[in-house]
Chain A
Amino acid sequence: MKLIEISNLIVYYNTSQGLVKAVDNVSLEISRGEALAIVGESGSGKTTLALSIPRLLPDNARILGGSIWLYPEKVDLTKLSEKELRRIRGRRIGVVFQDPMTYLNPVMKVGDQIAESIVYHQNCSLKEAKEKVLELLKKLKIPDAENVASRYPHQLSGGMKQRVMISIAISCNPELLIADEPTTALDVTVQAEVLELLRNLIQELKIALILVTHDLGIVAETCDKVAIMYAGKIVELADVYNLYRDPKHPYTVGLLDAVPTIKESESKISIIGGSIPDLINPPSGCRFHPRCPYMFEKCRQEEPPLVNFDKNRYVACWLME
């Protein structure tokens, strides 16, 4: 069952140096119960793409084209008023941000921060909301829930803060959970715990997950579908098994080989030269062409479309022609 359909979305940032083409003509779909990963290096536009769904972008962001349909009623989120959006944010779409230290209000008890959205969306009293908070914290296997709820963010460990963030996001049983690099600020063992928690939640609550990350490792464990982003574009979109078994786009291949793993067979890493382009003046044609080992003339001049290559598989590369 389709939940979100993004079509030809264009989001630019207004800056004094010019327009930053952070998301340029991107289309995506996500269904209920599905976990989609948006993967790419920093600056490729992942956060911009993900946060344009609940329209939580910075003030200088402009949605210049395309639409974001929310099903089943098929409303275009890019056209809604702030007031209408408020009934969707927190209630139907929850967000977990990267750094729980800065994304939690430092002067408010975490229990109150969770209760807040419950009070607003479920029409209940503060007292009832607080009881629900305790239930929620217990569901997230947080020991000593009463105690945690009455603390301020700085009194909690990183992993605990991220669990609080997650409970804020899921407090009203949303249909979509957006997690933007939810474990990047955490240590490996804590990351494993938080991911386990996320996996269990989406199974149990049957919600759709959009996981934004630069780490292909955690994607392999957690997601069903993967969108690889490069310089504001989706360059490959595939089912998780196919993507790892047989990556098609040269950037995907490079990305998979660029990080060392503890897999027994692996030890050699290959590299992608160069670095991410400036998004104010992105390269012509295929935006990856200056770094691509297979680049030929056409890549420099024409932009490759994202074409359906075989079932559930889309690649934007002239090699696929």
Chain B
Amino acid sequence: MEKNFFLKVVNVKKYFPVSKSFLIKSQKYVKAVDNISFSIRRGGTLGIVGESGSGKTTLARVILRLIEPTSGSVYFDNKNIFDLDKHELRKLRPKMQMIFQDPMASLNPRKKVKQILTQVFKLHTSLSNEEIYDRVLDLLEKVGLSPPELFLDRYPHELSGGQRQRVCIARAIALNPKLLIADEPVSALDVSVRGQIINLLLNIYRERGEDMIYIIISHDIALIKSMCKDTLVMYSGRMVEFGETDSIIKSPLHPYTRMLISAVPIPDPEIARTKKRIPISGEPPSLINPPPGCHFHPRCPYVMERCKVEVPQYFQVEDRLVSCFLYAQY
């Protein structure tokens, strides 16, 4: 791995064909990820935020090539991941890891915690059995499952939701990945457990984040604020805004981002009842039949004629990218 590695995503698309019936092959697609580009350097933390169905999970899976892209390229470790053959991809796998929303579904129910974690080392390293055992104990300790001996022989269903997610995290960080994507890592958990897992992820980042790229996917921008320096806002398969998290939250530029931020409830009655609200209307469009032009135009309070026909490109506003014609003069 090069010292100053980076992740560069260029014009990535993922269209799912919609099969209407078994006789007629339709030409319709769900454009789950439509032309997304961004890049992050080593040590960077990126949050991907958007409402359900906006394409976040699909984007993550395409970046890691867990599903095949429709087009575009993803550069990581100076290679285009989309060009790699099976063998090369397998060699890169330990460097790119993902944590999923539903820990139960991503753990093999018939394997003990011990087996789940040992397998990772067996598959990708040539460590001896004793060395592996020590590593596994270390890992469990690190993700807060201590004393580790207590958890080694448990099956996933014998763990609580939070503990399962800890096992998933242990598995993901086992081989010191350079790219770690967490897809809604706490959405399936209870409120207090949620805090515990967020803290764990933050600690891992503090410990080795400088040598890693961290991507957190969430529908909750508050979670992203607590974890990520940069944010990418998705709406209906497209990226609408990209920039520093704090400045996006303080002064959102895209009308959708504004609506989103104004909609986030703040647990403080004084602020909550005095803050200026942006009127919200409508719901996200269907991805099979999205509106023409800017996908947000039917809900947008600033909509112009042009928005209804043309897809806005990215405009640079200071250090931010915004896909909205309001910023066309910049």
Residue positions of A touching B, CB distance < 8 A: 41-43, 157-160, 187-193, 195-196, 214-221, 240-241, 244, 254-264, 267, 269-276, 291
Q: CB < 8 Å: which of B190, B192, B223, B281 contacts A260?
A: B223
Tell me if A269 and B219 are in contact (CB < 8 A): no
Nearest-CB distance from A83 to chain B (Å)? Answer: 39
* Contacts A/B (CB < 8 Å), 25 sampled: A43-B190, A189-B263, A192-B262, A192-B263, A196-B277, A214-B190, A217-B267, A220-B266, A220-B271, A220-B272, A221-B266, A221-B269, A240-B269, A241-B270, A258-B195, A259-B194, A260-B222, A261-B267, A261-B268, A269-B198, A269-B199, A271-B192, A271-B199, A272-B196, A275-B192
Check if B72 is an interface residue, CB within 8 A of chain A: no
Nearest-CB distance from A277 to chain B (Å)? Answer: 12
Chain B's closest residue to A262 (CB) is B222
The residues of A that contact B263 with a CB separation of less than 8 Å are 188-189, 191-192
The residues of A that contact B86 with a CB separation of less than 8 Å are none
The residues of B that contact A216 with a CB separation of less than 8 Å are 267
The residues of A that contact B283 with a CB separation of less than 8 Å are 157-160, 187, 189-190
A291 vs B191: C-alpha distance when bound (angstroms): 14
Q: CB < 8 Å: which of A196, A219, A264 contacts B250?
A: A264
A214 vs B272: C-alpha distance when bound (angstroms): 17
Q: CB < 8 Å: which of B198, B227, B264 contacts A188?
A: B264
A271 vs B196: C-alpha distance when bound (angstroms): 6
A157 vs B52: C-alpha distance when bound (angstroms): 13
Q: Knowing A189-B259, A255-B191, A271-B196, say if A260 contacts B268 (CB, 8 Å).
A: no
How many inter-chain residue pairs (CB < 8 Å) link A and B? Answer: 132
Tell me if B226 and A258 are in contact (CB < 8 A): no
Q: Knowing A190-B283, A244-B267, A269-B199, say if A258 contacts B260 (CB, 8 Å).
A: no
Q: Knowing A189-B263, A215-B265, say if A269 contacts B192 (CB, 8 Å).
A: no
Q: CB < 8 Å: which of B194, B264, B269 contacts A262?
A: B264
Q: Knowing A193-B281, A261-B267, say if A188 contacts B192 (CB, 8 Å).
A: no
Q: CB < 8 Å: which of A158, A159, A241 contacts B269?
A: A241
Chain B's closest residue to A189 (CB) is B263
Q: CB < 8 Å: which of B52, B192, B261, B266 contacts A255?
A: B192
